[in-house]
């Protein structure tokens, strides 16, 4: 696009500063050769700040060296609010390779590119937030323009840049076609991986929040979504793929969404640290900071000024400090065993977010760290925080499950109650009769239980019961059931079809497991199991009758009996 404004070919003398008397000479002509596919314009180009923002390319060209050109140094920042930054360089192509100049930042308001074609007329191209990305000369996340195809003779190029609210400090470089495509493909791959991971984490976190009614997962899902949305705007992905035609929204989103994601991060930190447990005033202060940050973001969206945006950046920095403080508070009190893991998850984002904040406050120039640092930190953060929340949720749900299971399970061993066993046994007998096969029922007694109580006390005896329960669980399959049916008596229901050989083998496994001295008991202490075994159904015995039959049999076995397994009906 050719941009021409005003008439005349010379700059008014009354607006030329005294520095125009000694302008910087044009740097050496840049030779474009395949041996150097990427060439930075640092110290290879010169700049001039148009304080009136109304100069045309014809006027700037006609002014020549009367313009106070300065050499463009690496990392230089330019405050161009209400101004226009002109950058000039000369280049000559050495072959048929296509070359492009790229400004490696998204969110630039307006960039125009000029050079004279072979016919002497201006060739103009334009990109930036004032135009949909689909209408850029080379659509993408960054403004990119193609150099003159004429090879063998030097061509002078001009860039005209408009940018508000943040200093312009964008790296500018010339790429050959292959290098540019390779860079873009690599960036798209990495960004796709990041946004794919963010979408997956947000989806699973939302599912956990709904399934388990876990508020921490719900807040985490909002935080991940807000952070990803902020990166969509900040990295230019949203303008390229999602809201190409929404120019007003794109202009606002670059500054609006990162601020909202910072407020969401503070909200999530509050949810996992629960500062109200330590101080009501601290909790109110955190809510106040969230409200202040969102209010500053709203004000900046309306005012769109450098001061309002700086206020947002300062509040984001304060929010990061508060997040660190909340984590340290819980860490010092030592009440949350997973706070170290949560702190490890927050650390990459807390560190990497300092780069875009410093860039927003005009403390450092744009670079790969300012563009991609936060995304890299988020890639490391998301799985760690999700894992930490999963551990915390499992711990809380385990307590809830234990409480809910008290009506069905023995509180000491965790095995099924007598009532639960009788219900399952009754169903198993009915099913066995219908299918004409057998199930097995084993009654197990710790025959040396009284001796353990007498020698080591009740606490050790209770540990023995827990150890016995663990051994019995390992002796059954997922479809079987272990239950505690007396003070030191247990029962195992082995669902059919069951044979005598299998039932005896399972009983032998139980007896052998008790003879190994467990670590939870005093050294040398073993559990001496006595077992009775029967195949059901048998005669007209129901569930209660069958259980009583086996318990009577195992209780009748003398404690010093050498025969540890007693079959009752085979």
Residue 223 maps to a domain: yes
Q: Measured between alpha carbons, how far is 184 from 236 in angstroms, rounded to an integer?
A: 13
CATH number of the domain that 81 lies in? Answer: 2.60.40.2380
The pLDDT value given to residue 317: 95
The pLDDT value given to residue 407: 58
List Cβ neighbours of 557 (8 Å cut-off, separation of 6 or more).
445, 447, 530, 532, 563, 566
Do 290 and 161 lie in a common domain?
Answer: no
Per-residue pLDDT tens digits for 518-544: 888 999 899 999 999 999 999 889 999
Do 27 and 94 lie in a common domain?
Answer: yes
Residue 392 maps to a domain: yes
Instruction: Say which DSSP state 417 is in.
Output: P
Q: Measured between alpha carbons, how far is 38 from 563 in angstroms, rounded to an integer?
A: 86
Report whether pLDDT(3) > 60.
Answer: no
Do 422 and 453 lie in a common domain?
Answer: yes
Do 549 and 506 lie in a common domain?
Answer: yes
3-state DSSP assignment of residue 492: strand
Do 271 and 341 lie in a common domain?
Answer: yes
Per-residue pLDDT tens digits for 255-296: 999 999 999 999 999 999 989 888 899 999 999 999 999 999
Do 241 and 389 lie in a common domain?
Answer: yes
Contact (CB, 8 A) for 176 and 151: no
Mean pLDDT of 88-99: 89
The pLDDT value given to residue 6: 36
3-state DSSP assignment of residue 348: helix
Per-residue pLDDT tens digits for 162-194: 999 999 999 999 999 999 999 999 999 999 999
The dihedral region occupied by 334, where left means phi > 0, alpha psi between -120 and 50, and beta the remainder, is left
Q: Phi and psi (nearest 5°) for 33?
A: -135, 150
Do 229 and 314 lie in a common domain?
Answer: yes
Q: Measured between alpha carbons, how far is 179 from 477 in angstroms, rounded to an integer?
A: 61
Report whether pLDDT(25) > 70.
Answer: yes
Q: Is the dihedral of CA 304, 308, 310, 316 positive or negative?
A: negative
The pLDDT value given to residue 444: 96
Do 443 and 560 lie in a common domain?
Answer: yes
The pLDDT value given to residue 368: 87
The pLDDT value given to residue 15: 39
Do 253 and 382 lie in a common domain?
Answer: yes
**Chosen domain end from 379, 404, 429:** 404
Contact (CB, 8 A) for 534 and 546: yes
The pLDDT confidence band at residue 398, using thresholds 50, 70 and 90, is: low
The pLDDT confidence band at residue 2, using thresholds 50, 70 and 90, is: very low
Contact (CB, 8 A) for 158 and 125: no
3-state DSSP assignment of residue 461: helix
Residue 133 maps to a domain: yes
The pLDDT confidence band at residue 14, using thresholds 50, 70 and 90, is: very low
Q: Measured between alpha carbons, how far is 531 from 546 in angstroms, rounded to an integer?
A: 15
Write the DSSP string, 170-188.
Answer: --EEEEEHHHHHHHHHHHH
The pLDDT value given to residue 8: 38
Per-residue pLDDT tens digits for 301-329: 999 999 999 999 999 999 999 999 999 98
**Chosen domain end from 376, 404, 432:** 404
**Chosen domain end from 349, 378, 404:** 404
Give the burial string for 303-317 (b: 16+ CB within 10 Å, else e).
eeebebbbbbbebbb
Contact (CB, 8 A) for 96 and 43: no
Report whether pLDDT(1) > 70.
Answer: no
The pLDDT value given to residue 402: 58
User: Residue 493, class by beta-carbon neighbours within 10 Å (0-12 exposed, 13-18 middle, 19+ buried)?
Assistant: buried
**Separation of CA 122 from chain center:** 48
List Cβ neighbours of 324 (8 Å cut-off, separation of 6 or more).
346, 350
Encoding tokens for residue 357? 């904040």
Write the DSSP string, 12-40.
Answer: -GGG--GGGGSPPPPPPPEEE-TT-SEEE
Encoding tokens for residue 227? 């952070």
C-alpha R_g of the chain: 38
Q: Is the dihedral of CA 450, 451, 456, 461 positive or negative?
A: negative
Report whether pLDDT(7) > 70.
Answer: no
Write the DSSP string, 544-563.
Answer: HHHHHHHHHHHHTS-TT-S-
Q: Measured between alpha carbons, how far is 557 from 531 in angstroms, rounded to an integer?
A: 9
CATH number of the domain that 490 lies in? Answer: 3.30.70.270
The pLDDT value given to residue 399: 55
Do 237 and 132 lie in a common domain?
Answer: no
Residue 190 maps to a domain: no
Residue 238 maps to a domain: yes
Distances (CA, A) of 472 to 21, 324, 446, 510: 96, 47, 12, 7
The pLDDT value given to residue 414: 85
Per-residue pLDDT tens digits for 468-486: 999 999 999 888 999 999 9
The pLDDT confidence band at residue 401, using thresholds 50, 70 and 90, is: low
Instruction: Tell which residue, 412, 508, 421, 547, has the closest CA to residue 468.
Output: 412
Instruction: Tell which residue, 424, 442, 433, has the closest CA to residue 538.
Output: 433
Residue 277 maps to a domain: yes
User: What is the rounded average pLDDT for all residues in the chain?
Assistant: 89
Do 37 and 152 lie in a common domain?
Answer: yes
Report yes or no on whether pTM surpasses 0.85.
no
Per-residue pLDDT tens digits for 129-168: 999 999 999 999 999 999 999 878 999 999 999 999 999 9
Q: Is the dihedral of CA 180, 181, 185, 188 positive or negative?
A: positive
Do 220 and 351 lie in a common domain?
Answer: yes
> Where in the sequence is the domain holding 95, given as residue range(s)?
13-180
The pLDDT value given to residue 182: 95
The pLDDT value given to residue 462: 93
| Number of domains making up the chain | 3
Report whether pLDDT(16) > 50.
Answer: no
Strand partners, 493: 441, 481
Residue 305 maps to a domain: yes
Residue 260 maps to a domain: yes
The pLDDT confidence band at residue 22, using thresholds 50, 70 and 90, is: low
The pLDDT confidence band at residue 395, using thresholds 50, 70 and 90, is: confident
Instruction: Tell which residue, 331, 341, 337, has the closest CA to residue 388.
Output: 341
């Amino acid at each position: 696009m050719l941009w021409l404004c005003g008439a005349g070919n010379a700059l008014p003398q009354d607006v030329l500063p005294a520095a125009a008397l000694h302008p910087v000479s044009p740097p050496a002509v840049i030779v474009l050769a395949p041996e150097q596919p990427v060439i930075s314009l640092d110290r290879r180009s010169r700049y001039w700040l148009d304080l009136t923002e109304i100069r045309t390319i014809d006027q700037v060209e006609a002014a020549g060296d009367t313009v106070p050109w300065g050499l463009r140094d690496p990392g230089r920042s330019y405050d161009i609010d209400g101004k226009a930054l002109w950058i000039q360089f000369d280049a000559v192509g050495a072959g048929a390779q296509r070359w492009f100049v790229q400004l490696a930042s998204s969110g630039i308001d307006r960039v125009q590119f000029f050079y004279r074609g072979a016919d002497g007329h201006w060739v103009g191209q334009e990109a930036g937030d004032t135009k949909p990305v689909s209408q850029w000369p080379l659509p993408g996340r960054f403004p990119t323009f193609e150099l003159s195809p004429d090879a063998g003779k030097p061509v002078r190029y001009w860039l005209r840049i408009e940018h508000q609210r943040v200093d312009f400090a964008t790296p500018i470089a010339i790429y050959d076609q292959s290098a540019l495509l390779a860079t873009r493909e690599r960036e798209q791959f990495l960004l796709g991986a990041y946004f794919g991971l963010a979408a997956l984490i947000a989806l699973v976190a939302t599912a956990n929040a709904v399934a388990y009614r876990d508020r921490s997962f719900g807040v985490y899902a909002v935080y991940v979504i807000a952070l990803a949305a902020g990166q969509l705007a900040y990295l230019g992905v949203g303008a390229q793929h999602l809201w190409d035609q929404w120019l007003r929204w794109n202009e606002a989103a670059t500054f609006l969404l990162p601020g909202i994601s910072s407020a969401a991060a503070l909200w999530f930190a509050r949810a996992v640290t629960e500062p109200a447990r330590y101080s009501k005033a601290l909790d109110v202060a955190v809510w106040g900071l969230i409200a202040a940050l969102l209010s500053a973001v709203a004000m900046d969206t309306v005012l769109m000024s450098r001061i309002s945006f700086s206020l947002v950046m300062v509040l984001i920095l304060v929010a990061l400090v508060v997040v660190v403080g909340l984590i340290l508070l819980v860490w010092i009190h030592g009440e949350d065993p997973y706070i170290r893991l949560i702190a490890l998850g927050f650390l990459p984002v807390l560190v990497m977010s300092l780069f875009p904040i410093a860039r927003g406050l005009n403390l450092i120039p744009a670079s790969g760290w300012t563009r991609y640092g936060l995304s890299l930190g988020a890639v490391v953060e998301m799985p760690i925080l999700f894992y930490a929340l999963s551990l915390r949720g499992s711990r809380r749900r385990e307590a809830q499950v234990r409480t809910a299971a008290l009506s069905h399970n023995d509180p000491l061993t965790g095995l099924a109650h007598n009532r639960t066993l009788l219900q399952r046994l009754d169903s198993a007998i009915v099913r066995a009769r219908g299918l004409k096969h057998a199930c097995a029922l084993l009654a197990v007694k710790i025959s040396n239980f009284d001796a353990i109580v007498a020698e080591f006390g009740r606490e050790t005896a209770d540990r023995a019961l827990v150890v016995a329960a663990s051994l019995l669980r390992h002796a059954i399959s997922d479809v079987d059931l272990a239950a505690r049916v007396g003070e030191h008596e247990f029962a195992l229901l082995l669902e059919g079809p069951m044979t005598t050989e299998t039932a005896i083998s399972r009983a032998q496994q139980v007896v052998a497991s008790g003879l190994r001295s467990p670590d939870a008991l005093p050294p040398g202490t073993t559990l001496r199991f006595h077992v009775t075994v029967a195949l059901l159904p048998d005669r007209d015995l129901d569930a209660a009758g069958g259980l009583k039959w086996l318990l009577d049999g195992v209780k009748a076995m003398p404690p010093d009996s050498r025969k540890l397994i007693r079959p009752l009906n085979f």
